[in-house]
Amino acid sequence: MRLLHTMLRVGDLDKSISFYTDILGMRLLRRKDYPEGKFTLAFLGYGDESENTVLELTHNWGVAGYEQGNAFGHIAIEVEDVYSACDSIKAKGGQVVREAGPMKGSSTILAFVEDPDGYMIELLGARSGKG
């Protein structure tokens, strides 16, 4: 077994695809309209779906936004350097909502970025000996 994807509902699919590709560096792997169901799916990631977990963006036609609720936390992305990733994201117009720095009570460096729909993305520095 393996984790295939995480799905997020988005209000403006093109804006979200632009954020994840232009600001976070993912690739649009596939996109398909489902006219009978009135929705579009887009799959994005850093590598092919056959070997990587990816992000599924679902746009329900005619829905401009969603309530975030309080159950979902965040998506985490590993980066080489959290500080430089934040600088790059801000330079491209992304919103860093928690600047890079150590997690409270830890030496782990992290930051948080917000996507166009308000979902949080945690940036974590690369670690050796993952597990």
The domain over range 75-125 is classified in CATH as 3.10.180.10:
yes
Each residue's pLDDT tens digit, 12-21? 999 999 999 9
Architecture in CATH for domain 5-60: Roll (3.10)
Place of tokens 């996507």: 115
| 36 tagged catalytic | no
Each residue's pLDDT tens digit, 110-121? 999 999 999 999
Q: Where are the domains of the chain?
A: 5-60, 75-125
Ramachandran region, residue 92 (left: φ > 0; alpha: ψ -120 to 50; beta: rest): alpha
Which residues make beta-bridge pairs with 26?
A: none
Each residue's pLDDT tens digit, 58-69? 999 999 999 888
Q: Which of 49, 78, 114, 122 is catalytic?
A: 122
**H helix or E strand, kind and range, residue 69:** none
Burial, 57: exposed, middle or buried (Cβ in 10 Å; 0-12, 13-18, 19+)? buried
